[in-house]
Amino acid sequence: MTADITIRNARILDGTGAPAFGGDIAITGDRITRVGAAGPATREIDARGLTLSPGFVDTHSHDDGAFLRYPGMEFKVAQGVTSEVSGNCGFSSIPNEPGRKYMPGDIATGGQTNWTDLESYFAACMAAKPAINNIMLVGHNRLRASAVGLDKRAATADELAEMRGEVAKAMEQGACGFSTGLIYEPGRYSDTDEVVALAAECRPFEGIYATHMRNEGDKLLDAVEEALTIAKGAGIGLHISHHKSAGKRNWGRIGQSFARVDRAEAEGQKVTFDVYPYTAGSGPMWQYVNLDHIDPEWSANVMINSCPDDPTLEGKMMPEIAAERGWELTEAVRNVLTSPRGKQVVCTHFIIDEADIETNLRDPRVMIGSDGIPDLKGRPHPRLYGTMPRVLAKYVRERGVLSLEEAVRRMTSLACDRFGLAGRGRIQEGAFADLVLFDPATVQDTATYPDPKQEPVGIDLVVVNGQVAVEKGKHTGAGSGRMLRYRRE
């Protein structure tokens, strides 16, 4: 049978961490039908000098709403990302009542919605012809905003039952697990028992608990303890999101965090992580600030990404804004946040040590998650456009922190196995044809903090479910992405 596409003479990295080997692959329909020497095909692509690997998986995205606003997902697919995990940090687009506003500056959905549950959200995404695949976590902040509101109090028995029912429903419909963002409102008002009860609804499905922990700074180790307690109590695996120790006085402490996790694993718990390859975090600014006690050290390290009331502030550091306006530093933070649309401000904060990024990347349990926030009206953190190429360029090629085979394994088979993307993450006959063809010698992120909306170079071809999505820097508009259900093809 004539294949649809052959990719010939590639260096093939199969995603398992094995060394590259030379050969061809054939694609028929949405699958890889041959690995080795391939016969004739309708379309032949010569990949001499290039490396072919499974498509990359962004294990930490906030693109629930982006699948509808920007179904071309150019900022991700240009990086070689063919699948991602959305619904992170407790911010998911489900459950949903059409038209209801759940939270100011909702990074997950950001506006129009006409779905109610995972099934109807997936249908809405598919109607938009997404460029890449998506698997979902159901998020605690959303559940709590829905059942309890933003009140600072414990959930009642009825509210807890409602939230549990929504987790179970999402899991039945194919979510891969439950996420929390315990640093954020309203998730931070919950106690550990509430989270255990909700996470436990994933147990019959062997889903996972993914967490933006309650604290990533001074109380990092307490937060790791709580995350382990929750996963253990729920009887499911733990995934620690964007593992870091924030704030200069805490730098280096992720070593202790890994050591604590090692002990838990020795006792039978299963723990994985993700990291983004940047020294700055990013998110809804109001969530990080107590207006009664604005931290001057933090304020000095903040950049504004999106500011609907004053776009001239976008891309500027807070000390620069304060100097320009003649404000004190903390007053500048207050003025930005208390403007009419202050809760829609997204910021970047430089809080992470470069050495901690390398420590993370050396650990075989750590995957790559962009944590990108797709607010394209402003100047988003460059991780939205640059994460995967930056790992390959800076940490593999330039610094040798991890090998190319290992980096690709983390971005492919490890992520697919952990998040239940069935039939994906490996180059083998019968697998889905999600592929990226790139040049390890030239692949490079080009997005910067002042100029973030830049696609990387050195990525020649991206294939999603057998269709070419990007070729030589051009988006084809194939729209061949799918909504994936946990461990189901």
Q: Which two tokens stand for residue 66?
A: 């982006």
Show the tokens assigned to 87. Answer: 């619904």
- Of the pair 182, 402, the CB lying nearest Zn ion is at 182
The alpha-carbon radius of gyration of the chain (Å, integer) is 22
CB atoms within 10 A of CB 227: 29
- Least distance between Zn ion and beta carbon 89 (Å): 3
Cβ(22)–Cβ(410) below 8 Å? no
Instruction: Restricting to residues 70-99, name those near Zn ion by CB under 5 A.
Output: 89
Question: Which residue stretch of 206-214, 380-388, 402-410, 435-443 sits at the interface with Zn ion (rule: CB under 5 A)?
Answer: 206-214
Provide the pairing of β-strand 346-350 with 302-306.
antiparallel
Cβ contact 38:5 at 8 Å: no
Question: To the nearest whole angstrom, how small is the minimum distance from the Cβ of residue 326 to Zn ion?
Answer: 34
> By CB under 5 A, what part of segment 291-330 binds Zn ion?
none
Nearer to Zn ion, 89 or 176 (CB): 89
Q: What amino acid is encoded at 179 in this protein?
A: S
The Cα 434–Cα 27 span in angstroms is: 10
In the complex, minimum distance from the CB of residue 237 to Zn ion, in angstroms, rounded to a whole number: 18
Q: Which is nearer to Zn ion, 178 or 438 (CB)?
A: 178
- 259: which 2 tokens? 């050591």
Cβ-based neighbours of 311, under 8 Å, separated by 6 or more? 378
- 246: contact with Zn ion by CB under 5 A: no
Stretch that binds Zn ion, among 147-155, 205-213, 385-393, 456-464 (CB under 5 A): 205-213
- Report how far residue 188's alpha carbon sits from residue 151's, in angstroms, rounded to the nearest whole number: 10
User: Least distance in Å: CB of 276 to Zn ion?
Assistant: 10
Residue 106 CB, nearest approach to Zn ion (Å): 14
Q: How far apart are CA 288 and CA 70, in angstroms?
A: 27
Structure tokens at 77: 């697919």
390 counts as binding Zn ion under rule CB under 5 A: no
Q: How far is the CB of 142 from Zn ion (least distance, A)?
A: 14
- Residue 404 near Zn ion by CB under 5 A: no
Total residues at interface with Zn ion (CB under 5 A): 2
* Least distance (Å) between residue 213 CB and Zn ion: 9
Q: What would the two tokens of residue 413 be?
A: 């088979």
Tell me whether residue 27 or residue 367 sits nearer to Zn ion (CB atom). Answer: 367
- If DSSP codes are grouped into helix, strand and coil, which group holds residue 13? coil
Name the one range near Zn ion by CB under 5 A: 209-217, 223-231, 264-272, 439-447: 209-217
Q: Rounded to a whole number, what is the distance in angstroms from the first to the last CA of the chain? A: 24
Q: What is the nearest approach in angstroms of Zn ion to the Cβ of residue 108?
A: 11
Nearer to Zn ion, 212 or 418 (CB): 212
What is the dihedral sign for C-alpha 215, 217, 218, 219?
positive
Find where tokens 């100047």 sit. Answer: 379
- The CB-side HSE value for 389 (13 A sphere, CA atoms) comes to 30
**Considering beta carbons, is residue 89 or 307 the nearer one to Zn ion?**
89
- Phi-psi group of 30: left, alpha or beta (phi > 0 → left; psi -120 to 50 → alpha; rest → beta): alpha
Query: Alpha-carbon distance 8 to 15, whole Å?
Result: 18
Give the shortest CB-227-to-Zn ion separation in angstroms.
13
**Residue 166 or residue 216: which is nearer to Zn ion going by CB?**
216
Question: Between 273 and 438, whose beta carbon lies closer to Zn ion?
Answer: 273
Is 349 a residue that touches Zn ion (CB under 5 A)? no
Task: Tell me the closest approach of the beta carbon of residue 261 to Zn ion, in angstroms.
Answer: 18
Does position 212 interact with Zn ion (CB under 5 A)? The reply is yes
- In terms of Cβ atoms closer than 10 Å to its own Cβ (0-12, 13-18, 19+), residue 40 is exposed
3-state helix, strand, coil in the chain (%, to 5): 35, 25, 45
Which is closer to Zn ion, CB of 275 or CB of 436?
275
Closer to Zn ion by CB, 212 or 410: give it. Answer: 212
Query: Which stretches of the chain bind Zn ion, using CB under 5 A?
Result: 89, 212
